[in-house]
Amino acid sequence: MASSVLRSQIPLGGICDVESAKHVARRLFESYDRDRNGILDQGEVAPMMVDAYKGMSKGFNPSKSDIDTYLRILDRNGDGKITIQDIEALAIKYLVGITGESPKRPKRQYSKFVEERLDVARRLFRKFDQDGSGFITENEVPQLLIETYKSMGIHYNPTLRRCQIMDEND
């Protein structure tokens, strides 16, 4: 099912889960780490850049400056080496939609009414996120909806299939 709401373990805005992103990163890393030393160097990064542009139907011959810039971007932990961990961090950031960095934005201020509703939503989410992963699985959605509607004084008893149909109509 190509569901954005009911996909298990895929955060909003992501296209895959963390393990899938790591798998993509490993395959990518292994295909360019030609000397199998566990580090991508300039000679291995240049073909990566050329292939990325080919994928967009564009020709590109990177200069040394281009390669140096790309190396700095790929070096997520700043240790001067491009390792599998660096590629995994990028894959997670762009494929899963999460980063290890916490956002540096101020907390939004809401009205008392909205804050009360958010508190209910957070409480219900924590109740159904029993493993603390930050995700609600597809099978937990109907019960979450029942509890959410119940907190608003509305009787609603959706089935898993009804939730899937609602999601397909989005």
Position 8 scores a pLDDT of: 46
User: Tell me, what's the pLDDT at 131?
Assistant: 65
Beta bridge partners of 40: 82
pLDDT of residue 136: 77
pLDDT score for 132: 67
List the pLDDT tens digit at each of the 170 positions of the chain.
Answer: 344 433 445 555 567 888 888 999 999 999 999 999 999 988 898 999 898 888 888 888 888 888 888 888 888 778 878 999 999 988 888 888 766 554 444 566 778 888 888 888 888 888 877 666 677 777 777 888 888 888 878 887 777 777 676 666 65
pLDDT at 120 (0 to 100): 83
- The two tokens of residue 34 are 């030609």
CA dihedral 12, 15, 19, 23 (to 10 degrees): -160
Say what the pTM is. 0.50
Closest C-alpha to 82, from 50, 43, 112, 56 = 43
Enumerate domains of the chain plus CATH numbers: 18-96 (1.10.238.10), 112-152 (1.10.238.10)
Token pair of 105, please?
Answer: 């934005």
Cβ neighbors of 21 (< 8 A, separation 6 or more) are: 88, 91, 92, 95, 96
Task: For residue 124, give the nearest of 102, 141, 100 by alpha carbon.
Answer: 141
Spatial CA neighbour of 135 closest among 37, 44, 7: 7
Token pair for residue 14? 């992501």
